[in-house]
Amino acid sequence: MRCLIRRRAQFSASHRYYIPQWSEAENWRRFGKGSLFPGHGHNYTLYVVMAGEIDDCGMVLNLSDVKHVIRREVVEPLDNSFLNQTWPEFAQTLPTTEFIAYVIWQRLRPHLPLARIQLYEHPELWAEYRGDAMNAYLTVGTHFSAAHRLARPDFSEAENYATYGKCARPHGHGHNYHLEVTVRGEIDPVTGMVVDLVALQNLIEQEVVEPLDHTFLNKDIPYFWEVVPTAEHIAVYIAQRLREPIRRLGAELHKVMLIESPNNACEIYADDLVTDVAEPSLATAVGR
């Protein structure tokens, strides 16, 4: 029987986003504080996911052996290092989260049956690499607070309570939503990025966080005048709003995960979207 297993490792390292061929102004425009000398550091968390058959001893691999391989090939060389000068790959391509994940895959591939590499720079930024040429995934996390009421206008009060329970109460309720946006693209051979990170973060702020934060979704967002703002529908709405703008940045939206509470979350994959969101016109909104 095929099985996936995962081993965690951690290391601390610093890096600098700076391309010598570019001017100071261009480096600052593209990388912001990340371009400042002498660099900055992170406590990285690495997940190595491996695939294989379960053997007669009940294991895919001996995890003690796996631990020593990861330590030898990755943790010992990278821990407490300045990444730009540690591995030769980083002399040509900046050590971004996604490119570090790619290089770790190359280092471990001769020793382990890899399925994917996940590298967390911090809880709201991580990358995943699956062995697909120079294509990788980058996830950005953020949050917003909003209220909603779950009720269909064509249902009676009794039907809404039967369907949505307490969530159908007339004055609504609120959540601190955690949002994770995952994009995919080809790693740039110079910047090491699948997308301009600053531009992506600004886009999510402008298209999602600022419009939705501290709103009553049913009343303040025209899309939800007719659509019940469940977590599922909110995730679809966010994915529809982001798909085309992310494409204009040079990447593709992969998925949106919306965490409504520690108990409830949903994922929407961009490939499953039918159309982008079309909200009522401003004139209609004003007249409502």
Is 40 a catalytic site residue?
A: no
Rounded to whole angstroms, how far apart are CA atoms 45 and 106? Answer: 18
pLDDT of residue 42: 98
Say yes or no to pLDDT of 269 above 70: yes
- Whether the model clears a pTM of 0.85, i.e. scores above it, the answer is yes
pLDDT of residue 278: 56
Tens-place pLDDT, residues 200-221: 999 999 999 999 999 999 999 9
- pLDDT band of residue 287 (cuts 50, 70, 90) is very low
**Structural domains of the chain in order of their starting residue, each with its CATH number:** 1-131 (3.30.479.10), 134-288 (3.30.479.10)
Q: Which of 53, 157, 214, 244 is catalytic?
A: 214
Say yes or no to pLDDT of 131 above 80: yes
- pLDDT band of residue 279 (cuts 50, 70, 90) is low
Per cent of the chain over pLDDT 90 is: 93
For the segment 264-268, the average pLDDT, to the nearest whole number, is: 97
Is 143 a catalytic site residue?
A: no
pLDDT of residue 200: 97
Rounded to whole angstroms, how far apart are CA atoms 209 and 205? Answer: 5
Tens-place pLDDT, residues 229-264: 999 999 999 999 999 999 999 999 999 999 999 999
Q: Which of 167, 207, 267, 279 is catalytic?
A: 167
Say yes or no to pLDDT of 85 above 60: yes
Rounded to whole angstroms, how far apart are CA atoms 288 and 281? Answer: 11
pLDDT of residue 274: 82
- pLDDT band of residue 1 (cuts 50, 70, 90) is confident
Rounded to whole angstroms, how far apart are CA atoms 178 and 172? Answer: 19
pLDDT of residue 163: 97
Rounded to whole angstroms, how far apart are CA atoms 123 and 48? Answer: 17
Nearest CA to 203 among 270, 249, 251? 249
For the segment 97-114, the average pLDDT, to the nearest whole number, is: 98
DSSP characters for the chain? -EEEEEEEEEEEEEE----TTS-HHHHHHHHGGGGSTT-EEEEEEEEEEEEEE--TTS-SS-HHHHHHHHIIIIIHHHTTEEGGGTSTHHHHS---HHHHHHHHHHHHTTTS-EEEEEEEEETTEEEEE-SSTTEEEEEEEEEEEEEE----TTS-HHHHHHHHGGGG-TT-EEEEEEEEEEEEEEPPTTT--SS-HHHHHHHHIIIIIHHHTTEEHHHH-GGGGTS---HHHHHHHHHHHHHHHHHHTT-EEEEEEEEEETTEEEEEEGGG--S---PPPHHHHHH-
Rounded to whole angstroms, how far apart are CA atoms 201 and 183? Answer: 12
pLDDT of residue 251: 98
pLDDT of residue 285: 36
Q: Which of 98, 121, 252, 260 is catalytic?
A: 260
Is 260 a catalytic site residue?
A: yes
- pLDDT band of residue 288 (cuts 50, 70, 90) is very low
pLDDT of residue 276: 62
Identify whether the C-beta of residue 195 lies closer than 8 Å to the C-beta of residue 249: yes
